[in-house]
Amino acid sequence: MGAATTAPTTSTVQPQSETTSGPRTFEAVWSELERRHAWRIVEKEVHNPALAIARVPYAWQDFDNRYAAAFREKHGLLELIAGAADDWEAILRLRHWVFMNVRDGQPSWPLSGHEPAQIVDASLHGATFYCTYFAYTFAAAASACGFPARHLGIDVLRKPHEPGAHHGVADVWVNKYRKWVHVDPNYDHHYELDGIPLNAEEIGQAWRRNQGLGMVGLVGPEKREAERPRAGIAGKHESACFYWHYIDTLNDFFHRKNLTWPEPVVFLVDEERKRNTWLQGNPPNTYPHKRYENGTFITTERTADAYPDLNCTRIDLMPPEKVPYLARVVFGRTCVPNFSHYVARVDGGAMQPIRGMEFPWQLKAGDNRVEFRAVNLAGHEGPPSRLAIHVERLSAQTPAWPTKKSVN
């Protein structure tokens, strides 16, 4: 089973590099190296975003689980995604595979739970299933291929006399965008705004902000634009159906022993949503969501609890030691399900594996650049952290190499 996550704000858009016009990020380390070598160091790029870490424990699927391995091998999932340009393209292929291999309709097969292998096998023999079965099958397939994914329940804000729009969808972590992205395998679609795929919270906020203006629905792996990929509520933009959402915490799909509705779930709210109530049932027999009463909502206002960063690294520099021209890079990481190792790229060269938690970055006069990523057992590289500096020798200054007593 993957590690649990446990903090700061989440990244909901692709992070941008930080440029250096103000104080240097690693001032203490650069100052000491400058003193020792009579250098001047200019930070050219510091792309090292803060990590969004949840206080909620999540369970992620272990890549080497024998049932997960059997599932991906039986259905040729690794062959399906081979040659994809990036993890997002691979994920879209997996979503389309689920859309093509799970039959839509009211559940017509006596399954003991949402077990993905049973769902696919039953569908191939004529059984039909509704949305949540699609979501679980996709999340299991993605997780079996090394892409952390999870099931979500979404719904519209409504009054007791109004119809609901509860729907089961999935979230998947996308390294390319360094964020969670909503996917709906039942309709083989997702939503984008300004070319960036959205997660459930972002879609719901788009509804509350301006009724989803500018949001585009895209269908299939080729991302065909569709005016309305899912019907939703008549007279309302589809983003209205994302006012409420909860997120499963148990995402180790081949460990869950056929749990139909795992618990607890994360329930992200804000001041407006706290003033309202998520209703279930059909008019006139509507009632507050059962998870309020049974205590299986983990209610939080921290976006990071619901949308933690995965597969990310955060780098720091340690004070230099006696080795000349060396910057000691150490790593802090958020949750990296199925973590294998780090890789580093120096000055645009090839990625090289790192064993351990520290990297000796050898500096030279001129431009120096280094990039780090975490790699999981499936071989997928996480989003990068990067540093770029320019080192200038100052001939008018005298190096002040520390004496033995002052060495760190």
In angstroms, the CA 36 to CA 398 distance is 9
State whether 318 and 244 are in the same domain. no
**Rounded CA gap, 398 and 403, in Å?**
15
Q: What is the pLDDT of residue 260?
A: 74
Q: Encoding tokens for residue 65?
A: 């689980």
Query: According to the model, what pLDDT value does residue 401 have?
Result: 83
User: What mean pLDDT do residues 163-175 have?
Assistant: 96
Residues 153 and 265 in one domain: yes
In a domain, 110, yes or no: yes
Token pair in block for residue 318: 């340690």
Domain edge (last residue) among 276, 306, 336: 306
From CA 372, how far away is CA 254, in angstroms rounded? 31
Please report, rounded to a whole number, the percentage of residues in the chain having pLDDT higher than 90.
81
Residue 359 lies in a domain: yes
Amino acid identity of residue 96, one-letter, is: H
Among the ranges given (75-79, 316-320, 321-325), the one the predictor scored with the smallest mean pLDDT: 321-325
Residue 55 has a pLDDT of 96
CA dihedral over 132, 135, 137, 139, signed as positive or negative: negative
Provide the domain count of the chain: 2
Check whether residue 284 and residue 348 sit in a common domain.
Answer: no
Q: What is the largest CA-CA distance in the chain?
A: 85
Domain assignment present for residue 13? The answer is no
Read off the pTM: 0.91
Residues 371 and 384: their CA atoms lie apart, in Å, by 6
The confidence score (pLDDT) of residue 18 equals 44
- Same domain, residue pair 342 and 195: no
- Residues 173 and 147 sit within 8 Å (Cβ to Cβ): yes
Three-state DSSP class for residue 4: coil
List the CATH number of the domain containing 386. 2.60.40.10
What pLDDT, in 10s, does the model give residues 10-52?
333 333 344 445 689 999 999 999 999 999 999 999 999 999 9
Can you tell me the mean pLDDT for 276-291? 96
Please say which residue of 287, 306, 325 terminates a domain. 306
Q: Could you tell me if residue 108 is inside a domain?
A: yes
Same domain, 90 and 231: yes
Is there a single domain that holds both residue 243 and residue 389? Answer: no
Q: Are residues 297 and 340 in the same domain?
A: no
Burial (CB count within 10 angstroms: exposed 0-12, middle 13-18, buried 19+), residue 52: buried
Q: Are residues 71 and 136 in the same domain?
A: yes
pLDDT the model gives residue 316: 94
Condensed to tens digits (0 to 9), the pLDDT of residues 206-227 reads 999 999 999 999 999 999 999 8
Residues 160 and 253 in one domain: yes
Instruction: Report d(CA 26, CA 363) in Å as an integer.
Output: 15
Is the domain of 287 the same as that of 327?
A: no
In a domain, 20, yes or no: no
Are residues 73 and 143 located together in one domain of the fold?
yes
pLDDT at 144 (0 to 100): 97
Both 402 and 283 in one domain: the answer is no
* Residue 331 structural domain: 27-53+310-406
Domain end: 286, 306, 326, which one?
A: 306
Q: Is residue 377 part of a domain?
A: yes
pLDDT at residue 15, rounded to an integer: 39
Nearest to 62 by CA among 300, 320, 254: 254
Does residue 17 lie in a domain region?
A: no
What is the pLDDT at residue 234? 87
Q: Enter the tokens of residue 302.
A: 């921290």
Instruction: Give pLDDT tens digits for 351-378.
Output: 999 988 899 999 999 999 999 999 999 9
Tell me what pLDDT residue 402 has.
78
**pLDDT higher than threshold 90 for residue 321:** no
Is 103 a member of any domain?
yes
349 pLDDT exceeds 80? yes
